[in-house]
Amino acid sequence: MLRFLIRRLFGAAITLWVIITASFFLMRFAPGSPFDQERALPASVKANRWLLYGMGHEVTTPVAGRITAVSERELGAEYDEGTWLATLLADDGAEHRFTMPNDGSLEALPLVVGGELAAGGRVAVVSKTPWQQYTSALGRYLTLDFGVTFTSGGERTVMEELSHAFPVSLELGVYSLIFALIFGVTLGLVAGLRQNTWIDYTAMSGAMLGISIPTMVSGPLLVAIFCIGLGWLPYGDPPAGAEYSTFSYRVLPVITLGLVYTAYFARITRGGMLEVIRSDYIRTARAKGLSDARVVTRHALKGAILPTVSFLGPAMARIVTGSVVVERVYGIHGLSEYFVKPALDRDYPLVLGTVVIYSALLIVMNVLVDIAYTFLDPRVKLK
């Protein structure tokens, strides 16, 4: 078991690194900038933002002195490494030339000829190369520091944003998963045991319907029936004093999100039961005179739910991180808000934080599924 966990953790770390690397460079090389839609800002303000978000760094003077010459470079333009920026005459009479430290854009050059600079004073702010941004960001990600979000103006960190949204999606996902498992596995087992009967046809027709109807249709349809038409359940943001977690506000989102997975679980479990029920060891158990109930519960059940357990890993990650459509339909402020809008806004830190959470959940769930397999199927061994 220990060897298996070590190997899987090592593989998980490599997988997570590949996902982070691919996501990072896809975002960086996509057309546009996080600041394209904003009004024109002073160069000094824009430069401070590049520093705040870890996308740029300062060129500073190691000694105090007086500026004798300043390059007339256009701010925001791309320049090669070594491009001259300014010249400083130090107090000891030595002359210092400042150049671009790398290929990139010049974001600020807050100097005037004759101006005095103290040691450590800012000469310029230049953008980091994508590789420099990547290496510095990767070190922060190891400590779960994803930086501050662009859309909050640097006032909130990524972890602060996600810590408010993730528990909401987690609650919705867990209850939806429980709903899907209870009804989906039950329907699948019954349909498998009653193959080619009206029970089987009805259950599988319902499952096919559940898979075919997307949540963008089932969500508004349930709202129209139970909230607007019958008036049995409330809809919209809870009033003052009420919470989303109350049953009346929770039931429809849970059902809407769980219906699709209920259908998948039903079909997968039925297929597993049909395969197991014809196995030789099941025939042997029946030949020994065991009752049908004992044959199913003691022998067939574990093998029948193996395909369901395989599907459970990725399903848990997807359902727990929330559904964009379901949370939008019911006005739930969960993690789904950070799957689309931050990418459109080029909010790099928030996108990476969301990707890491989803990927980590998916990897952890798959490891748990592999461990569960050993308890359900004695033929499977962890190596």
Residue 88 placed within a domain: yes
Residue 88 has pLDDT above 70, yes or no: yes
Structure tokens of 288? 């020994």
Same domain flag for 62 and 187:
no
Q: Mean of the pLDDT values across residues 64-88?
A: 86
Same domain flag for 303 and 171:
yes
Final residue in a domain of this structure, among 92, 108, 129 = 129
Same domain flag for 256 and 297:
yes
Residue 145 placed within a domain: no
Highest mean pLDDT among 185-189, 231-235, 290-294: 185-189
Here the CATH number for the domain that contains residue 223 is: 1.10.3720.10
Same domain flag for 118 and 205:
no
Residue 109 has pLDDT above 80, yes or no: yes
What lies within 8 Å, CB to CB, of 127 at 6+ separation is 50, 55, 56, 104, 105, 107
Highest mean pLDDT among 56-65, 234-243, 274-283: 56-65
pLDDT at 292: 67
Residue 142 placed within a domain: no
Instruction: Quickly count: other Cβ atoms within 10 Å of residue 208's Cβ.
Output: 13
Same domain flag for 188 and 90:
no
Same domain flag for 335 and 195:
yes
Q: Quick check: helix, strand or coil at residue 65?
A: strand
Confidence bin at 61 (pLDDT 50/70/90): confident
Residue 37 placed within a domain: no
State the burial class of residue 232 (Cβ atoms within 10 Å of its Cβ: 0-12, 13-18, 19+): exposed
pLDDT at 241: 45
Percentage of the residues of the chain whose pLDDT score is greater than 90 = 0
Rounded to whole angstroms, the Cα distance separating 186 from 184 reads: 5
Rounded to whole angstroms, the Cα distance separating 356 from 360 reads: 6
Residue 262 placed within a domain: yes
pLDDT at 32: 62
Q: Mean of the pLDDT values across residues 296-325?
A: 73
Q: Mean of the pLDDT values across residues 27-33?
A: 70
Nearest to 129 by CA among 36, 28, 58, 35: 28
The pLDDT mean for the chain works out to: 78
Name the residue range of residue 73's domain.
43-129
HEC per residue, 151-218: CCCCCCEHHHHHHHHHHHHHHHHHHHHHHHHHHHHHHHHHHHHCCCCHHHHHHHHHHHHHHHCCHHHH
Q: Quick check: helix, strand or coil at residue 95?
A: strand
Residue 44 has pLDDT above 70, yes or no: no
pLDDT at 59: 85
pLDDT at 39: 55
Percentage of the residues of the chain whose pLDDT score is greater than 70 = 84
HEC per residue, 336-353: CHHHHHHHHCCCHHHHHH
Q: Mean of the pLDDT values across residues 94-109?
A: 85
Same domain flag for 183 and 60:
no
The bridge status of strand 104-108 relative to strand 122-127 is antiparallel
Q: Could you identify the residue written with the tokens 């739910």?
A: 305
Residue 63 placed within a domain: yes
DSSP string, 295-355: HIIIIIHHHHTHHHHHHHHHHHHHHHT--HHHHHHTT--STTHHHHHHHHTT-HHHHHHHH
Q: Mean of the pLDDT values across residues 108-135?
A: 83
pLDDT at 240: 45
Instruction: Quickly count: other Cβ atoms within 10 Å of residue 275's Cβ.
Output: 15
Same domain flag for 247 and 336:
yes
Residue 140 placed within a domain: no
Same domain flag for 297 and 365:
yes
Rounded to whole angstroms, the Cα distance separating 328 from 326 reads: 5
Across the beta sheet with 56-60, the strand order is 56-60, 122-127, 104-108, 78-79
Rounded to whole angstroms, the Cα distance separating 103 from 79 reads: 6
Residue 117 has pLDDT above 80, yes or no: yes
Residue 21 placed within a domain: no
pTM of this prediction?
A: 0.70
Residue 69 has pLDDT above 70, yes or no: yes
pLDDT at 242: 46
pLDDT at 238: 53
Number of helical H runs and strand E runs in the chain:
14, 8
Supply the angle between the helices 247-277 and 215-222 in degrees, to the nearest 10: 130
Q: Could you identify the residue written with the tokens 């059940």?
A: 301
Here the CATH number for the domain that contains residue 94 is: 2.40.50.100
Count: domains in the chain? 2
Same domain flag for 242 and 346:
yes
Same domain flag for 239 and 367:
yes
pLDDT at 247: 65
pLDDT at 332: 78
Q: Mean of the pLDDT values across residues 242-268?
A: 77
Same domain flag for 336 and 277:
yes
Tell me: the pLDDT tens digits for 325-373? Answer: 787 777 777 777 777 777 777 777 888 888 888 888 888 877 777 777 6
Nearest to 72 by CA among 106, 44, 95, 119: 106
